[in-house]
Chain A
Amino acid sequence: MTALKGTGGNPAASGGAGMRLRGLIRKEFLQVLRDPSSIAIAFLMPILLLLLFGYGISLDAEHVPVALVAEQPNADTDSFAGAFRQSRYFAPVVMPGMREAVAALNSRRVDAIIHIKQDFSRRMRSTDGGVIQVIVNGIDANNARLVQGYVEGVWAKWLQAEALANGEPLDIPVQVEERVWFNSELKSRNFIVPGLIAIIMTLIGALLTAMVMAREWERGTMEALIVTPVTIREVVVGKLIPYYILGMGGMVLSVVMSAGLFGVPLKGSLWVLFLASSLFLLAALGMGLLISVVAKNQFVAGQAAIIATFLPAFILSGFLFDISSMPAPVQVITHAVAARYFIAILQTLFLAGNIWPIILPNAAALLLMAGLFLGLARRKSGKRL
């Protein structure tokens, strides 16, 4: 209520509000420019994360090393092995016997063993059909399932090719004709890189803001700041604007890098991306402010920001792990993670386009969260110690 004073017929005071805000914002930018850790979080971290995730991490299994063991090598087994060699998913190594293959599997030099028994040629021409044994290292369950699927794919293709070559009709009642929409190359990078933008903006929005606000409490500058005629709204806005700009800078950097370096398509429009990012950033800033108001200590604020914003954004947002395959209670929790909505929007915008039925409800959720966190942060922070 006291903040309204300036509008109550005192023009000098309202001019003062502009001056105070300008002073606060200028101070914040000077501090960011001089603090190597802010610069690192705002610009170095996005580059590092993008390079790491863009180049280093792939959810696709490619060139999986497999051991091929043919107990009785002949034309049939050679042809079968050839099918593996041609596939981009496998890097087969022919091994003389199961003993060597098992040793290789145990030492994780290969992820799977394709074991072709000695009666393979005979049985594949008999009515009961041929048998290949596939042993997959199940330690990495995800990878194991992928390898399993790929082996089946290679085997089906090889059968078809064999049948064609021999002029035999292959009796397949249903044919699968695959079409992949939205990420036609099925590159996991195209799916990860947009999600990374949410992670980066969480870092700048929540972690950086929580730390800088807590720093003011810790160093005693907040006390000096709030005894000046500044209003608490000005203090909050004076923090929001600089870090909003910094966060959007991080986002632009990420978009440019993902399009330029990784060739991720951007199907949707830029202004939708801009608006959605703004909404998410406001929610992240709100969380950061709220944490710092409660913690008032850089160490606690940093820890809290990582646990409450960064980790959930990483794990519970659908960035790497599919939400629909999580257990039901965990799925419920993901609704409280702002990054979840933003990642849904980002993946849609980048890979599919302006699909309103997805964008609008997620944007509404972001708006709600931004309002909630900013409102709470505003209420929790007062001009009192």
Chain B
Amino acid sequence: MSRPDPRTATETGDIALALGRVTKKFVSGARRVDALQKVSMTAREGRVTGLIGPDGAGKTTLMRLVAGLLVPDEGTISVLGIDAVRDPLDVQSSIGYMPQRYGLYEDLSVQENLDLYADLKGVHLSDRPGRYRELMAMTGLGPFTSRFAGRLSGGMKQKLGLACTLVSPPRLLILDEPTVGVDPVSRRELWAIVYRLVRDEGMSVLLSTAYLDEAERCDDVVVLHEGRILGSGAPKTFSGPMKGRTYRVRVPSVKNRTLQERLSGQPGVVDAVVQGEAVRLVMSNAETQAVEKLVEEMEGALIEAAAPRFEDGFIALLREMRPPAARSAADTGRAVAAAAGKDGETIIKVKDLQRRFGDFYAVKGVTFGVKRGEVFGLLGANGAGKSTTFRMLCGLLPPSGGTLSVAGVDLRRAAASARARIGYMSQKFSLYGNLSVRQNLDFFSSAYGLSGSLRREMIEWAFWQFDLGPVADSTSADLPLGFKQRLAMACALMHAPDIIFLDEPTSGVDPLARREFWQRIDSLAEKGVTVLVTTHFMEEAEYCDRMAIMAAGEILAIGSPAEIKSRARTTELPEPTLEDAFIALITGTTEGVAA
């Protein structure tokens, strides 16, 4: 029974959502996870509030608590003045919630999905045609109403999910990672829709994301990390303190990656990442001399001030909590013997590669080459064909057409000795979850034929290099994501491969872990190891020597990040980002299809 509580009704005012010291634990077997610890936050009405944090930060748990799907162990949750713990059904009739996978029935058509959610949300039959028209116009799904949801692209699914959530206009819209893995065009469109809902319908929006650049699009941001709130406020409150502390550094005689490696870890440096043709530097204070001192020995160093971003503030917050590890991730390549072969030799050749599933082409006409010691990135949204291409390269999936060779052989037909030259880290954690870290390392080293002192040495190296010592005897499945990812990489490197395939290695981990990971990749590349990596993070593609942008199974563009960006350069957009370039490429090629 809903009993209006006079106290909360008057006190909340323009507060759409209020959490007071909310704690939620999950217990599975002997393992206890503190998903949220004494979390207090508010979201204001008529605004977009962003929940920012890596996987496992507690974003989804928080949203499920708000939607009345979970009960907190402690604390209060008030949604639009309703107690979400006591009256979840009342909350549910005034909110719209889109879960991570959109909650669509893939075997129902677009129209049938809409009808179902209209029935469930009690939308009057006479109101439906008008509402459907609005939603179809907003999402651009009008021409596809009879298509099965399962046959839609990722971006279209995301919009249909949103349309189903909006079929009866909610007062509070909750979107759980609506943009993750979706192509940048669809991401921009989704944001346009969200802004319109807030502006025209006065809706309040709570949205979670793992993309830090999206934080800047929110009115307010709540940063979650390991179940605690790290900070909250307008995005400016994060980037503001960084004012005067961010620079772009360029040294013509030094490769960006080398420069970045030299700068990171230096005193006073909070963060150093490759960005475009320069290295972006975040310093611990606003003294310009400190930066000049760093590069004083480098010839022709150019330093220019850069506008602070949300991400800079976030990294600074994380660094305060977690000082950099004693040993640098940058010497991951140390134990890997210099890879055989001459520099500049094309070690991976792919020509007109195709993969068909039924009448659907997951990969069609893909052609590229990768040189020895290169970091080559495949960038694209979920479903663009990145992983399928990878699996064919690793010999896990036979191609339907075209030719490919890795280190001179087709791995699908090659002998085990040829396979021993490659390492593969798959998208999902594919180690043995019920074995301990040590057992996994033991198993993979023996699977790759290491024995005796070499094997012991490599296992020692893995423990030391990847900082796995403290968790040596923990069950792998119970490790935090960052550790799992490190263990997976360690296992893929045990046999010192010449070529390593990394399928979305950084998906879901926090930005510090991502930086550390890229340092390892760079260090491997320095040793002549060829690295192929897929990602759906635009900014990560900047770290690659060369990259290919994929969409719908095809390569849209191939080249260095600078080359690709230069293609999108226009008078209105003199310095396009990779995302701008991606969007320009996609709209250029798909216009004919969508129209």
Residues of A within 8 A of B (CB): 1-5, 8, 12-13, 15-16, 19-20, 22-24, 26-27, 30-31, 34-35, 219-221, 223-231, 383-385
User: Contact between B93 and A19 (Cβ–Cβ < 8 Å)?
Assistant: no
User: Contact between B122 and A223 (Cβ–Cβ < 8 Å)?
Assistant: no
- For A34, what are the chain B residues with a Cβ–Cβ distance below 8 Å? 107
- For A12, what are the chain B residues with a Cβ–Cβ distance below 8 Å? 122
**A30–B108 CA distance with the chains assembled, in angstroms:** 7
User: Contact between B107 and A35 (Cβ–Cβ < 8 Å)?
Assistant: yes
- For B104, what are the chain A residues with a Cβ–Cβ distance below 8 Å? 221, 224
Nearest-neighbor residue (CB-CB) of A222 within chain B: B103
Task: Determine how close the nearest CB of chain B comes to the CB of A88; give it in whole angstroms.
Answer: 53
Besides the contacts A13-B122, A26-B115, A220-B99, what 19 more A-B pairs have beta carbons closer than 8 Å? A2-B87, A5-B89, A12-B122, A15-B122, A20-B120, A24-B120, A27-B105, A30-B112, A31-B107, A35-B107, A220-B102, A221-B104, A224-B164, A227-B67, A229-B89, A230-B120, A383-B68, A385-B69, A385-B70
User: Contact between B2 and A5 (Cβ–Cβ < 8 Å)?
Assistant: yes
B340 within 8 A of A: no
User: Contact between A385 and B112 (Cβ–Cβ < 8 Å)?
Assistant: no
- For B117, what are the chain A residues with a Cβ–Cβ distance below 8 Å? 228
Q: Which 4 A-B pairs rank lowest in CB-CB distance, beginning with the nearest? A: A224-B103, A23-B119, A16-B122, A220-B101
- For B95, what are the chain A residues with a Cβ–Cβ distance below 8 Å? 227
User: Contact between B88 and A2 (Cβ–Cβ < 8 Å)?
Assistant: yes
User: Contact between A231 and B89 (Cβ–Cβ < 8 Å)?
Assistant: yes
Task: Determine how close the nearest CB of chain A comes to the CB of B359; give it in whole angstroms.
Answer: 18
User: Contact between B122 and A20 (Cβ–Cβ < 8 Å)?
Assistant: yes
**A2–B84 CA distance with the chains assembled, in angstroms:** 13
User: Contact between B112 and A27 (Cβ–Cβ < 8 Å)?
Assistant: yes
In residues 80-105 of chain B, which contact A (Cβ within 8 Å)? 87-90, 92-93, 95, 97-105
28 chain-A/chain-B pairs, Cβ below 8 angstroms = A1-B1, A2-B1, A2-B88, A2-B90, A5-B89, A8-B1, A15-B122, A20-B120, A23-B116, A23-B118, A23-B119, A23-B120, A26-B115, A30-B107, A30-B108, A219-B101, A223-B103, A224-B97, A224-B104, A227-B68, A227-B95, A228-B117, A228-B120, A229-B122, A230-B120, A231-B89, A384-B70, A384-B71
B106 within 8 A of A: yes
User: Contact between B69 and A383 (Cβ–Cβ < 8 Å)?
Assistant: yes
User: Contact between A229 and B97 (Cβ–Cβ < 8 Å)?
Assistant: no
**A27–B164 CA distance with the chains assembled, in angstroms:** 14
B421 within 8 A of A: no
User: Contact between A223 and B99 (Cβ–Cβ < 8 Å)?
Assistant: yes
Task: Determine how close the nearest CB of chain B comes to the CB of A222; give it in whole angstroms.
Answer: 8
Task: Determine how close the nearest CB of chain B comes to the CB of A312; give it in whole angstroms.
Answer: 29
Nearest-neighbor residue (CB-CB) of A231 within chain B: B89
- For A27, what are the chain B residues with a Cβ–Cβ distance below 8 Å? 105, 108, 112, 116
- For A31, what are the chain B residues with a Cβ–Cβ distance below 8 Å? 105, 107-108
**Most A-side CB within 10 Å, residue of B90, B102, B122:** B122
User: Contact between A224 and B92 (Cβ–Cβ < 8 Å)?
Assistant: no
User: Contact between B115 and A23 (Cβ–Cβ < 8 Å)?
Assistant: yes
- For A22, what are the chain B residues with a Cβ–Cβ distance below 8 Å? 119
Task: Determine how close the nearest CB of chain A comes to the CB of B391; give it in whole angstroms.
Answer: 23
Q: Of B2, B69, B90, which is within 8 A of A384 by CB?
A: B69
Known: A2-B88, A31-B108, A385-B69. A224 touches B122 (CB 8 A): no
**A20–B122 CA distance with the chains assembled, in angstroms:** 7
**A22–B104 CA distance with the chains assembled, in angstroms:** 18
- For A16, what are the chain B residues with a Cβ–Cβ distance below 8 Å? 122
**A24–B118 CA distance with the chains assembled, in angstroms:** 11
B64 within 8 A of A: yes
Known: A219-B101, A229-B120. A383 touches B106 (CB 8 A): no
Nearest-neighbor residue (CB-CB) of A15 within chain B: B122
User: Contact between A228 and B92 (Cβ–Cβ < 8 Å)?
Assistant: yes
Q: Of B2, B69, B106, B161, which is within 8 A of A219 by CB?
A: B106
B21 within 8 A of A: no
**A384–B89 CA distance with the chains assembled, in angstroms:** 11
User: Contact between A383 and B97 (Cβ–Cβ < 8 Å)?
Assistant: no
Q: Of B1, B70, B121, B161, which is within 8 A of A228 by CB?
A: B121
Known: A1-B1, A8-B1. A225 touches B120 (CB 8 A): yes
Task: Determine how close the nearest CB of chain B comes to the CB of A320; give it in whole angstroms.
Answer: 37
- For B102, what are the chain A residues with a Cβ–Cβ distance below 8 Å? 220, 224
Q: Of B68, B97, B103, which is within 8 A of A221 by CB?
A: B103
- For A385, what are the chain B residues with a Cβ–Cβ distance below 8 Å? 64, 69-70
User: Contact between B119 and A20 (Cβ–Cβ < 8 Å)?
Assistant: yes
**A225–B69 CA distance with the chains assembled, in angstroms:** 11
Nearest-neighbor residue (CB-CB) of A220 within chain B: B101
Nearest-neighbor residue (CB-CB) of A216 within chain B: B105
Nearest-neighbor residue (CB-CB) of A230 within chain B: B120
**A229–B95 CA distance with the chains assembled, in angstroms:** 9
Q: Of B93, B99, B118, B161, which is within 8 A of A229 by CB?
A: B93
0/1 per residue, B455-487, Cβ < 8 Å to A?
Answer: 000000000000000000000000000000000
Nearest-neighbor residue (CB-CB) of A17 within chain B: B122
Q: Of A19, A30, A223, which is within 8 A of B119 by CB?
A: A19
**A221–B98 CA distance with the chains assembled, in angstroms:** 10
**A227–B2 CA distance with the chains assembled, in angstroms:** 17
0/1 per residue, B150-187, Cβ < 8 Å to A?
Answer: 00000000000100100000000000000000000000
Task: Determine how close the nearest CB of chain A comes to the CB of B17; give it in whole angstroms.
Answer: 15
Task: Determine how close the nearest CB of chain B comes to the CB of A267; give it in whole angstroms.
Answer: 43
- For A35, what are the chain B residues with a Cβ–Cβ distance below 8 Å? 107
- For B89, what are the chain A residues with a Cβ–Cβ distance below 8 Å? 2-3, 5, 229, 231, 383
**A295–B450 CA distance with the chains assembled, in angstroms:** 40
- For B121, what are the chain A residues with a Cβ–Cβ distance below 8 Å? 228-229
**A4–B87 CA distance with the chains assembled, in angstroms:** 13
User: Contact between B88 and A383 (Cβ–Cβ < 8 Å)?
Assistant: yes
- For A227, what are the chain B residues with a Cβ–Cβ distance below 8 Å? 67-69, 92, 95, 97, 99
Nearest-neighbor residue (CB-CB) of A385 within chain B: B69
Task: Determine how close the nearest CB of chain B comes to the CB of A329; give it in whole angstroms.
Answer: 32
